[in-house]
Amino acid sequence: MTTETGHLARPTLSGSLAEAVIRMIGEEGLVAGERIGPQRDLAARFGVAVPTMREALRRLEGLGILSFRHGSGIYVGENYNRSVLPNAVLPPADRERLVELVQARVLIEPAIAHQAATVREPAAVARLADLLQDAHRCLTTGEDRLWRVNVDLHRAIADAAGNRIVAEVLDVILLLHAEDQRRILTLHGDPRADYEEHAELVRLITAGEADEVARRMHEHLTDVAGAIGPAKD
C-alpha cells in the first residue's frame, strides 16, 4: 500500500542519461518542435555508446517528451515540461472504462467552468468566441471538424481557468481513447443542442456567472452520461 515509489528512482545509466538530456534541453532553452543534437554527438558528449544513448532517448520518446524522425533528427516533443501525461499504449477500452471517462468529465468540468468564469483568462476567453463561431460554421456546412472544434472549446474553457495542471488533466481525459469517445458521443449527441449549450456556457463564462455555468456544464455533460451510462450494451 504505502510503499509505492512511483517509479521515480533512476539509479541506472539510462535513467540518469534521460535526466541529463532533460537538463540539457532546459539549459539550451529548446522548446517543442526544435531539434536536439544528433544521437552520435549526444552519445559522445555524455561518454556512452550509441545504443545506450538511444535507450535513454527512447524512454523520453515514450513519454512524448521527444520525437524521432528517421533521417531528419530528434526533436523536443509536446510533453516537455508537461506534468500530466496520457498512457499512450493503453489496452483497448471496455464500455465500463468509457463510462468512467465520461463520468470523470461530469465530476471535473463543472468545477473547471466555475473557475473559468471567475478567472476569465483573456486569451482563452477570446478563443472561446472564435471556436463558437467556428462551430457554427461547421454546423451549417456539415463539416467533420465539428467534433474537434467542440473538444477544443472544452479545452479552451479549461485554459480560461488559468491553471496549467487543470488544463493538462482535462487534456489527458479528452485524449484518452479519443476515437472511442468520439464515436460514443457523436452517436448519442445532438449537434444542434450541443451548439446551443456551448453558446450558453461561453456567454455565462464571459459574464462571470460562475455558479450558473457550473450548473449548466453539469447538465450539459450529464445528458450524455445518462444516455450512455445505463445502457448495458
By CB under 7 A, name the binding residues for DNA.
12-14, 37-40, 47-52, 54-55, 68-74
Question: Cell triple for residue 195?
Answer: 451548439
Pick the closer one to its own copies by CB: 83 or 140: 83
- End-to-end Cα, the chain, rounded Å: 35
Give which of DNA, its own copies, none residue 115 binds (C-beta under 5 to 8 Å, depending on kind): its own copies
Other Cβ atoms closer than 10 A to 166: 18
CA 105 to the chain's CA centroid: 13
Least distance to its own copies, CB of residue 203, Å:
22
Would you say 99 and 225 are in contact if contact means Cβ atoms under 8 Å apart? yes
Listed in sequence order, the residues at least 6 apart from 16 whose beta carbon sits closer than 8 Å to its beta carbon are 10
* Closest C-alpha among 189, 198, 192, 200 to residue 226: 189
Give which of DNA, its own copies, none residue 65 binds (C-beta under 5 to 8 Å, depending on kind): its own copies
Least distance to its own copies, CB of residue 131, Å:
10
Least distance to its own copies, CB of residue 230, Å:
16
User: Strands across the sheet with 66-69, in order?
Assistant: 35-36, 73-76, 66-69
Question: Cell triple for residue 34?
Answer: 526544435
Q: Which residues of the shown chain bind its own copies in the complex (CB under 8 A)?
A: 1-2, 4, 6-8, 12, 14, 18-19, 22-23, 26, 51, 54-56, 58-65, 67-68, 70, 77-79, 81-91, 97, 100-101, 103-104, 107-108, 110-112, 115, 145, 148-149, 152, 161, 163-166, 169, 172-173, 175-176, 178
Give which of DNA, its own copies, none residue 45 binds (C-beta under 5 to 8 Å, depending on kind): none
Give which of DNA, its own copies, none residue 142 binds (C-beta under 5 to 8 Å, depending on kind): none
Give which of its own copies, DNA, none residue 48 binds (C-beta under 5 to 8 Å, depending on kind): DNA
Question: Cell triple for residue 222?
Answer: 450529464
